[in-house]
Amino acid sequence: MTPQVSSSQIRKIILDQAKRANVGHIGSALSVADIIAALYFGVMTIPDPADSDRDRFILSKGHAALALYAAFFLKNWITSEMLDTYCSDDTFLPVHPERLLRGVDFGTGSLGMGISYAAGAALAAKMQNSKRRVFVLVSDAECNEGIVWEAAMFAVHHKISNLYVIIDLNGQQALGYTQDVLDTAPLGKKWEAFGWHVINVDGHSPEEIKNAIQLCEQEFTRPHALIARTTFGKGVSFMENKIKWHYWPMSMEEYRLALEDVERLS
Amino acid sequence: MRIAFVNALVELAKNDARILLLTSDLGYMVIEPFAEQYPDRFINVGVAEQNMVGVATGLADAGFVPFIYSITPFAVLRPFEFIRNGPVYHQLPVRIIGVGQGVEYGFNGNSHFGLEDVGVLRTQPGLTIIAPADDAQTKTAIEKTSSLTGPVYFRLSKDSFEIPELSRSFELGQVQQIGSGVDVLIISTGAITREVIQAAQLLSDQGLRSTILVIASIAPAPVSDLIKVLSAFKYAFTVESHYITGGIGSLVAEIVADHCLNVQVVRLGFEVLLNNALGNSAYLQAANGLSAEKIAFRIHKVLEESI
């Protein structure tokens, strides 16, 4: 499966499951669909979720978990029956990822913590002389959290070059646009000022993400920040850049239109 | 105890390569023996307690046993949510070392006091909570918890001293008993046990013989040990360097209520905000009714009034 094929499948699963469960966070999940596709189907080495030397992934912006569950399904780590338990009672697939689901390296949901876990996990790999890498996906608004910068300083100081932070720069947060709520710009320059190896990428081009990460492999002294420019709600025209779709579930008609859009995109 | 802790850790680390020591830039003249002997296993993370817990979570997930060191409120309260979502939720062997029981940092003031750490952490399922009463018990507790797969919190005194009556003993889920007097039951935890032993002597001078139970294993709680002894007394006096809410006074009251025991719990500890004149640890304990003399006086008064 190529990342391109999988990102459209991820989008369709996001819509199907969000509709079935009647929950929101759709726009956030669509925003990261291509990043998740690039990582799981083009970048990370995970022969098995239990392999101790696998690459690690932490979805620090835990509210986009539906995109992650879609990738797990496409990797055959969870069955369609299990996927259909999303946000049902007795599920292992809640809104934010929990450790109890095979394949989830760290449970998240409280913004900012994932990057700190990731710094420790990547440092552990270095101390154990392992080649494994740690990827952590954070949102731009998540960079409001002080812990992001504590961890950023730590990772540079300890030259944790097997750590990859991918920032989903969609310019939106729960209650408004980031430039109106708490402006994070210029985000790339901030990461650079903290000493990170920064690359700007199109967050909707799995190929570009994959190539950028390959480029990072030649930088051995600094951790890497991929500033991935994205569109909130990407792929569904009426959701794109609309604050409403951070929380809102779809009506039947909206679901139908959204599916049409996503199919057109693929 | 903090010195005893580091010495015990240096020994333990000889045969356990998983052990790391992380500090958030505290521990001057304390942590050096470990840092010098194991420079590759020591990390000063800087003044960033939340990140220290997050990083320790990542390290523990990969098989390490990180001990994270700070002064009690910085080790527990600042990163509490990280402790909850990291080592507790993931059930990882992170060891949290909080230095300073109660008001030991005296002149440093309220920001440095550990008066609610036990209360806060006691809410967390699967978190072992240890409050040693002296150096030897610290060493024994560090050794006896080394194989636990979940997280552990150690509430340590910054002072070094021995309580010979404890004879180095520590067991998870058990109390240590000093004396077997039938007139007074005092339940204590941590360094303030020294005051309690003196208080018991003062009471003995007045003809009242005491049993002292020392709780070092706060979680798992020594439930059956406590039930056995509590039933034999009309009053149980709990003494702790902690707010009376949430600490061992609350723990004993919960056990009494849960098991319908016919004993009245009298909780001695800090009751008010310390926003008045400050002083050293002994001054603050005395000013809050927790010196040996005041403990003895308060116990005597309750018993006298009950007659």
Contact present, A124 and B58 (Cβ < 8 Å): yes
* C-alpha angle A177-A178-A182 in degrees, rounded to nearest 5: 130
In a mutagenesis test of the A interface, which of B19, B55, B65 is the best target, namely the one with the most A β-carbons within 10 Å? B55
pLDDT at A3: 75
Q: Considering the entire predicted model, what is its pTM?
A: 0.96
- Do A118 and B58 make contact, defined as CB atoms within 8 angstroms? yes
- All residues of chain A having their beta carbon less than 8 Å from the beta carbon of residue B86 are 113, 117
CA distance A119 to chain B (A): 6
Identify which of B54, B64, B85 has the shortest CB distance to residue A151: B54
Tell me how far CA of residue B131 lies from CA of A8, A197, B69, in angstroms.
55, 44, 15
Residue A239 φ/ψ region, left for φ over 0, alpha for ψ in the -120 to 50 degree band, beta for the rest:
alpha
Give yes or no for residue B113 having a pLDDT over 80: yes
CB of B55 within 8 Å of a chain A CB? The answer is yes
Give the residue on A whose Cα is nearest the Cα of B57: A117
Identify which of A121, A128, A157 has the shortest CB distance to residue B58: A121
pLDDT at A76: 96
Percent pLDDT > 70 in chain A is 100
Give yes or no for residue A266 having a pLDDT over 80: no
CB of B21 within 8 Å of a chain A CB? The answer is no
In a 3-state reduction of DSSP, which class is residue B52? helix
- All residues of chain B having their beta carbon less than 8 Å from the beta carbon of residue A96 are none
Contact present, B218 and B242 (Cβ < 8 Å): no
Contact present, B183 and B153 (Cβ < 8 Å): no
Helix or strand holding residue A58 (H, E):
strand A56-59
CA distance B59 to chain A (A): 5
Give yes or no for residue A5 having a pLDDT over 90: no
**Complex ipTM:** 0.94
CB of B48 within 8 Å of a chain A CB? The answer is yes
pLDDT at A4: 72
Separation CA B84–CA B81 (nearest Å): 5
Nearest in space to B232 (alpha carbons), one of B187, B189, B172: B187
- All residues of chain B having their beta carbon less than 8 Å from the beta carbon of residue A126 are none
Buried residues in A166-204 as b, exposed as e (16+ CB within 10 A): bbbbbbbbeeeebeeeeebeebbebbeebbbbbbbbebb
* Token pair of A126 as six digits: 């270095």
Give yes or no for residue A224 having a pLDDT over 80: yes
- Do A151 and B51 make contact, defined as CB atoms within 8 angstroms? yes
Separation CA B155–CA A22 (nearest Å): 46
Give yes or no for residue A1 having a pLDDT over 80: no
Separation CA B136–CA B272 (nearest Å): 32
In a mutagenesis test of the B interface, which of A116, A138, A147, A158 is the best target, namely the one with the most B β-carbons within 10 Å? A116
CB of B65 within 8 Å of a chain A CB? The answer is no
Confidence tier at B150 by pLDDT (50, 70, 90)? very high
Give yes or no for residue B74 having a pLDDT over 80: yes
Give the residue on B whose Cα is nearest the Cα of A53: B62
Identify which of A113, A123, A146 has the shortest CB distance to residue B82: A113
Separation CA B114–CA B73 (nearest Å): 6
Helix or strand holding residue B2 (H, E):
helix B2-14
Mark out the alpha helices in B190-291 (DSSP H runs). Answer: 193-205, 223-230, 248-258, 281-287
CB of B86 within 8 Å of a chain A CB? The answer is yes
- Do A120 and B45 make contact, defined as CB atoms within 8 angstroms? no
Query: Residue B69 carries which DSSP code?
Result: E
Give yes or no for residue B194 having a pLDDT over 90: yes
pLDDT at B307: 78
pLDDT in tens, A38-77: 999 999 999 999 999 999 999 999 999 999 999 999 999 9
pLDDT at B136: 98
Nearest in space to B92 (alpha carbons), one of B119, B55, B120, B121: B55
CB of B78 within 8 Å of a chain A CB? The answer is no
- Do B48 and A153 make contact, defined as CB atoms within 8 angstroms? yes
Identify which of A121, A153, A157 has the shortest CB distance to residue B62: A121
- All residues of chain A having their beta carbon less than 8 Å from the beta carbon of residue B48 are 150, 153-154
- Measured CB to CB, residues of chain A less than 8 Å from chain B are 52, 99, 105-107, 109-110, 113, 115-125, 127-128, 134, 146-147, 150-151, 153-154, 157-158
Separation CA A163–CA A160 (nearest Å): 6
CA distance B56 to chain A (A): 6
Average pLDDT over chain B, rounded to an integer: 97
In a 3-state reduction of DSSP, which class is residue B99? strand
Beta pairing, strands A163-169 & A224-229: parallel
Average pLDDT over chain A, rounded to an integer: 96
Separation CA A212–CA A120 (nearest Å): 23
CA distance B73 to chain A (A): 18
pLDDT in tens, B198-214: 999 999 999 999 999 99
For tokens 């999940």, what's the residue? A29
Burial class (CB in 10 A: 0-12, 13-18, 19+), B132: buried
Identify which of B50, B56, B85 has the shortest CB distance to residue A150: B50
Contact present, B128 and B145 (Cβ < 8 Å): yes
pLDDT at B84: 98
pLDDT at A196: 98
pLDDT at B277: 82
Give yes or no for residue B227 having a pLDDT over 90: yes
Sign of CA dihedral A84, A88, A92, A94: positive
Query: Residue A145 carries which DSSP code?
Result: S
Please provide the DSSP assignment of B160-186 as one string: ----GGGTT---TT--EEE---SSEEE
Contact present, B187 and B235 (Cβ < 8 Å): no
